[in-house]
Amino acid sequence: MAIANKNIIFVAGLGGIGFDTSREIVKSGPKNLVILDRIENPAAIAELKALNPKVTVTFYPYDVTVSVAETTKLLKTIFDKLKTVDLLINGAGILDDYQIERTIAVNFTGTVNTTTAIMSFWDKRKGGPGGVIANICSVTGFNAIYQVPVYSASKAAALSFTNSLARLAPITGVTAYSINPGITKTTLVHKFNSWLDVEPRVAELLLEHPTQTSLQCAQNFVKAIEANQNGAIWKLDLGSLEAIEWTKHWDSHI
C-alpha cells in the first residue's frame, strides 16, 4: 500500500486537481498528509480533516519559487516533526503564457528545487532511506498546445526531469513517476492567455472538445500512486488511466 499509514507531502494540494486528489488520498488513510500551498484555505483543511479523522492533516504556507535553501528549511521542520516522509507530490502549476518567467519558475524550476531540497533527507548516499516522488506534469509534455508554447515547454521539461529521476533511483534510492492529466475542467482552463495573443480564444476552443472532471482525474491519480511504479509515465485523460511507452530516438549510452 503506497498511501495507507504513510506520510505524504503534497505541494499545491489545495488547487483544482490537487484538492480533489487530497480528498481521495485522505479517504485511503495515510498517517499524515502535509499540504504545502501558497494560499491558506482553512475551510478546505477542515473538510479534509472531517473526511477521515484518523488522518493528521497539516498545512504550511509555501511558494515553490523560493530558493532550495528556503525549501530545505521548511522540509527540516516537517521531517523533525514526522521523522519520515514516504511520498512527495509536486503539483504546483500555472497556465498563463503572458507570464513567461513565472510559468517556468512555478511549473519547472519549482519542481526541480523542491525535489533537490528533499534529496538532503532521502538520498541513500547520505544515509537517507529513499522515497517516492510523483510529479504532476501534463499531456502537453507529450504534444504541445502550441498556442501556449511556454506552458507546454515547462511541462515537457518537468516530464524530462522526472524521467531522469527514475533512472537515477539505483544511485539515490528515490523513485519517481509522472502524472500527466489531459484537459480537466478546473478554473485553470476556463480562461487563460496564449503567448503573444496568438489565439485569444484558446481556452474556449479547448473546451469545445471532450474533457474530464477533476474528480475523475483525482481517482486515477490515486490509482497511479497505489501502482507505485518507478519511471511510469501516466496519462490521465478523459477519465482513464494509461501507462505511456516513451519512444526513444536517441541514447547517451552511459
In a domain, 251, yes or no: no
In a domain, 253, yes or no: no
Query: Which pLDDT value is given to residue 35?
Result: 98
In a domain, 249, yes or no: no
Q: What is the CATH number of the domain that holds 165?
A: 3.40.50.720
Query: What is the residue range of 85's domain?
Result: 7-244
Give the pLDDT confidence of 5-48 residue by residue, as tens digits.
999 999 999 988 999 999 999 999 999 999 999 999 999 999 99
- What residues pair up with 234 in beta bridges, in sequence order? 179, 243
- What residues pair up with 89 in beta bridges, in sequence order? 10, 134
**pLDDT confidence bin for 135, thresholds 50/70/90:** very high
Query: Which pLDDT value is given to residue 187?
Result: 77
Q: Using an 8 Å Cβ cutoff, are 39 and 14 in contact?
A: yes
In a domain, 2, yes or no: no
In a domain, 159, yes or no: yes
In a domain, 59, yes or no: yes
In a domain, 1, yes or no: no
Query: Which pLDDT value is given to residue 16?
Result: 87
Give the pLDDT confidence of 75-133 residue by residue, as tens digits.
999 999 999 999 999 999 999 999 999 999 999 999 999 999 999 999 999 999 999 99
Give the pLDDT confidence of 176-231 residue by residue, as tens digits.
999 999 999 987 677 899 999 999 999 999 999 999 999 999 999 999 999 999 99
In the chain, the number of structural domains is 1
In a domain, 114, yes or no: yes
Give the pLDDT confidence of 143-167 residue by residue, as tens digits.
999 999 999 999 999 999 999 999 9
Question: Does 151 participate in catalysis according to the annotation?
Answer: yes
Instruction: Output 101-108 pairs: Cβ under 8 A, ≥24 positions apart.
Output: 102/65, 103/150, 103/151, 103/154, 104/150, 104/154, 104/157, 105/64, 105/65, 106/64, 106/65, 107/151, 107/154, 107/155, 107/157, 107/158, 108/154, 108/157, 108/158, 108/161
Say which of 60, 62, 98, 151 is annotated catalytic: 151
Would you say the pTM of this structure is higher than 0.95? Answer: yes
- Cα dist from 205 to 191, 192, 213, whole Å: 11, 12, 17
